[in-house]
């Protein structure tokens, strides 16, 4: 599961780095001295993380932002603000959609390796 979650985590960072449209407003570009959307100082991007909870056959994995400050930034950037000052720039779902097939393959390989390991013990 670790490898699969790392693959999704990387996809989220790649999506942030891709410059998700729409472009920044000219005033934002001037303030940030950059036209890169979703990146101001890189703090949010640097806090993409994954977690594995549970044990045995009840493992669950997730990828996201686990500190309140960056979770709030991610939500605002993904959904935009009600006043329209920040337009929606979805990046989590597209990243997951891109990474899901490869992550599923990683999970299948890990499960198969564990089954083979267990069968060799017997």
Reported as a single tens digit per residue, the pLDDT across 7-57 is 999 999 999 999 999 999 999 999 999 999 999 999 999 999 999 999 987
- CA end-to-end distance (rounded Å), the chain: 24
- Two tokens at 86? 């920040």
Overall domain count for the chain: 1
What average pLDDT is seen over the chain?
95
Distance CA 66, CA 1 (A): 18
Residues of the domain holding 11: 2-121
pTM value?
Answer: 0.88
Please state, in angstroms and rounded to a whole number, the distance separating the CA atoms of residues 80 and 70: 15
């Amino acid at each position: 599961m670790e490898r699969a979650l790392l693959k999704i985590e990387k996809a989220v960072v790649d999506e942030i780095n891709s410059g998700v449209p729409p472009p920044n407003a000219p005033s934002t570009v001037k303030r940030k001295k950059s036209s890169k959307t979703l990146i101001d100082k890189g703090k949010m991007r640097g806090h993409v993380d994954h977690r594995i909870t549970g044990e045995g056959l009840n493992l669950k994995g997730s990828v996201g932002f686990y500190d309140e400050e960056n979770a709030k930034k991610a939500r605002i950037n993904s959904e935009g603000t009600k006043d329209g000052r920040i337009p929606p720039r979805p990046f989590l779902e597209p990243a997951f959609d891109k990474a899901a097939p490869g992550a599923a393959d990683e999970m299948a390989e890990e499960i198969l390796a564990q089954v083979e390991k267990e069968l060799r013990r017997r």
